[in-house]
């Protein structure tokens, strides 16, 4: 295994396909496995996976851990593990999920997120290190998480740091689960895991990218239509080249092109910030402008019905107090947007699942004036019936 020398103690280093397939086959016999990744995406459109860390334990056996080198093997064979009923243990996995979808082709069918679960114990987006210290009395290995994970060979410090991300996930998940069980909140946590998947951002729609360019909102008519087509072309080009969209052309260049509506390459040369030397083929840009001039420009976003800001402030104060008393991360219970949407009669997470069980009809009654908030001498608020 020449690519990843300086082997860390008790941790396998996998850089052949046969070794990875054998490892996965054995992991399929486990009840659960801990997994994490190291990746970069500063210079690429898609995350550049650099390392996968996995640890599992078979009955009556010591844990088996591995650092998998995705620069040497295809991690697509993790699909079998992800598709199985073996439980994946992770910490704050949303970015890992992006990696899995791109490099493996799917997400784990069953997972447990230690960060999200800890939120139901009153902890607000805790780090893995803080959880390990609080629940296990373990100080995790310090390291440089911003180091270059694509460089080979990895240093011993990098490997120790990477392995620490999975080493203690099993006992940590057990400790958190024990506390959740005492509070009767396991069903809430499972509901939150499902909600996490439902709330994940869908793949970027190239036709909607223009809305993320602030200066574009002031454009109208043909100029707005041109920006829609230009931004969509840039997004597709970035995917094709696997580079960040800004490295194709910056926002200001697209805005200037849309404002000028050039018809020829000579017209393009007069656009502020445009550098023909970066892309000698200007035909796609001119085609995007021409197509944009002919299309009906998309409408501006419609403003949602708004709630009374006074009611929002009162309900938000009550939610914050309730979250503290209930030992639930306030951001999990309700964001300000959740409150505003509910009070405005728009779809809101507060009207269903475990949140409705906790909040009941109190927010609506506060907003209607039938319940008032009063300061509790012991701290926080108390609800007072208004007759």
Rounded Cα distance, 139 and 48, in Å: 29
Question: Other CB atoms closer than 10 Å to residue 272's CB: what's the count?
Answer: 11
Q: What pLDDT, on a 0 to 100 scale, did the predictor assign at position 4?
A: 45
C-alpha distances in Å from residue 349, one per residue of 103, 122, 197, 345: 31, 19, 14, 12
Judge if 184 and 240 occupy the same domain. Answer: no
Rounded Cα distance, 14 and 382, in Å: 58
CB 238 within 8 A of CB 250: no
* CATH assignment at residue 179: 3.30.420.10
- Within a domain: 360: yes
- Within a domain: 31: yes
Q: N- to C-terminal Cα distance for the chain? A: 77
Judge if 343 and 239 occupy the same domain. Answer: no
Residue corresponding to tokens 């269903």 = 352
Judge if 153 and 192 occupy the same domain. Answer: yes
**Which comes out higher in pLDDT, residue 126 or 281?**
126
Q: For 45, phi and psi rounded to 5 degrees?
A: -75, -50
Q: Which residues of 98-121 are buried (b: 16+ CB within 10 A; e: fewer)?
A: bbbeebbeebbeebbbbbbbbbbb
Judge if 131 and 239 occupy the same domain. Answer: no
> For helices 186-198 and 169-183, what crossing angle results, to 10°?
120
Judge if 144 and 70 occupy the same domain. Answer: yes
pLDDT band at 9 (very low <50, low <70, confident <90, very high): very low
Q: What pLDDT, on a 0 to 100 scale, did the predictor assign at position 144?
A: 67
- Within a domain: 139: yes
What's the domain count of the chain? Answer: 3
Judge if 345 and 287 occupy the same domain. Answer: no
- Within a domain: 13: yes
Judge if 155 and 259 occupy the same domain. Answer: no
Tens of pLDDT along 282-320? 999 999 999 999 998 788 766 667 889 999 999 999 999
Judge if 149 and 281 occupy the same domain. Answer: no
- Within a domain: 304: no
Domain stops at, among 294, 322, 355: 294
- Among candidate residues 58, 169, 67, 52, the one with its CA nearest the CA of residue 118: 169
Tens of pLDDT along 55-114? 999 999 999 999 999 999 999 999 999 999 999 999 999 999 999 999 999 999 999 999
Rounded Cα distance, 163 and 154, in Å: 12
Judge if 187 and 277 occupy the same domain. Answer: no
Domain stops at, among 237, 263, 294: 294
Tell me the residue range of the domain where 322 lies: 309-385
- Within a domain: 134: yes
Reading the block at residue 325, the tokens are 């008393």
Domain stops at, among 294, 323, 344: 294
Residue 8 pLDDT > 50: no
Reading the block at residue 189, the tokens are 């946590």
Q: What is the mean pLDDT of the chain?
A: 92
Judge if 155 and 244 occupy the same domain. Answer: no
Rounded Cα distance, 351 and 357, in Å: 9
Judge if 88 and 147 occupy the same domain. Answer: yes
- Among candidate residues 65, 84, 80, the one with its CA nearest the CA of residue 11: 65
- Within a domain: 34: yes
CB 65 within 8 A of CB 54: yes
Question: What single string gives the DSSP state of each residue in 54-81?
Answer: EEE--TTS--EEEEE-TTTS-GGGGHHH
Judge if 99 and 227 occupy the same domain. Answer: no
- Please report, to the nearest 10 degrees, the dihedral formed by the alpha carbons of residues 210, 105, 163, 175 taken in order: 90
Tens of pLDDT along 137-189? 999 877 666 789 999 999 999 999 999 999 999 999 999 999 999 999 999 99
């Amino acid at each position: 295994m020449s690519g990843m020398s300086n082997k860390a103690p008790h941790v396998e280093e996998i850089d052949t396909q046969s070794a990875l397939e054998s490892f996965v086959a054995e992991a399929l016999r486990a009840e659960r496995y801990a997994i994490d990744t190291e990746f970069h995406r500063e210079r690429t459109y898609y995350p550049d996976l650099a390392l996968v860390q996995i640890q599992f334990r078979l009955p009556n056996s010591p844990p088996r851990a591995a650092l998998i080198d995705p620069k040497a093997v295809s991690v697509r064979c993790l699909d079998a593990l992800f598709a199985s009923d073996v439980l994946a243990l992770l910490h704050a996995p949303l970015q890992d999920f992006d990696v899995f979808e791109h490099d493996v082709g799917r997400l784990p069918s069953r997972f447990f997120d230690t960060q999200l679960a800890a939120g139901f114990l009153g902890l607000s987006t805790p780090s893995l290190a803080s959880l390990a210290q609080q629940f296990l009395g373990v100080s995790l290995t310090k390291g440089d998480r911003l180091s270059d994970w694509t460089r080979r060979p990895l240093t011993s410090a990098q490997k120790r740091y990477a392995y620490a991300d999975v080493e203690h996930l099993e006992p940590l998940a057990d400790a958190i689960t024990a506390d959740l069980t005492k509070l009767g909140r396991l069903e809430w946590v499972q509901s939150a895991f499902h909600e996490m998947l439902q709330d994940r951002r869908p793949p970027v729609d190239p036709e909607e990218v223009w809305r993320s360019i602030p200066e574009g909102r002031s454009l109208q008519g043909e100029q707005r239509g041109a920006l829609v087509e230009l931004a969509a072309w840039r997004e597709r080009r970035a995917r094709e080249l696997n580079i960040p969209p800004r490295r194709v052309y910056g926002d200001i260049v697209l805005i200037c092109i849309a404002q000028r509506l050039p018809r020829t390459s000579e017209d393009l040369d007069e656009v502020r910030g445009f550098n023909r030397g970066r892309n000698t083929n200007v035909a796609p840009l001119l085609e995007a402008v021409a197509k944009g001039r002919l299309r009906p420009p998309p409408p501006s976003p419609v403003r949602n019905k708004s709630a009374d800001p006074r009611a929002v402030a009162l309900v938000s104060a009550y939610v914050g107090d309730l979250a503290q008393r209930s030992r639930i991360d306030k951001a999990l219970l309700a964001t300000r947007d959740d409150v505003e949407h509910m009070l405005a009669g728009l779809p809101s997470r507060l009207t269903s699942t475990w949140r409705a069980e906790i909040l009941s009809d109190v927010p609506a009654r506060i907003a209607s004036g039938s319940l008032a908030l009063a300061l509790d001498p012991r701290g926080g608020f108390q609800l007072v019936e208004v007759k």
